[in-house]
Amino acid sequence: MRNQLIDIIRFIAAIAVALFHFNCYNNPISPTWYSESVKFGWLAVLFFLISSSCIALDAYNPKNVITLS
């Protein structure tokens, strides 16, 4: 069963990672407010690792397995 809230948060985190990588090399043409707002985009990767682990554990939970017997 999919959790739509987690999907939305993961989408926002994906955008944060993309914007972080766009600004990764201290792009001289990006405004200061942009650089300051995306400098913690690397935390979204940590969120992906933790949320993926939780989703995998939930998916492989024995309570969720359907048996054919």
Angle of CA points 6, 54, 11, to nearest 5°: 25
% of the chain surpassing 70 pLDDT: 77
CA-to-CA distance for 4 and 11, rounded, in angstroms? 10
How large is the average pLDDT for residues 43-68? 79
How large is the average pLDDT for residues 7-20? 87
- Whether 65 shows a pLDDT value over 80: the answer reads no
- Whether 50 shows a pLDDT value over 80: the answer reads yes
How large is the average pLDDT for residues 5-22? 86
Domain boundaries, the chain: 4-64
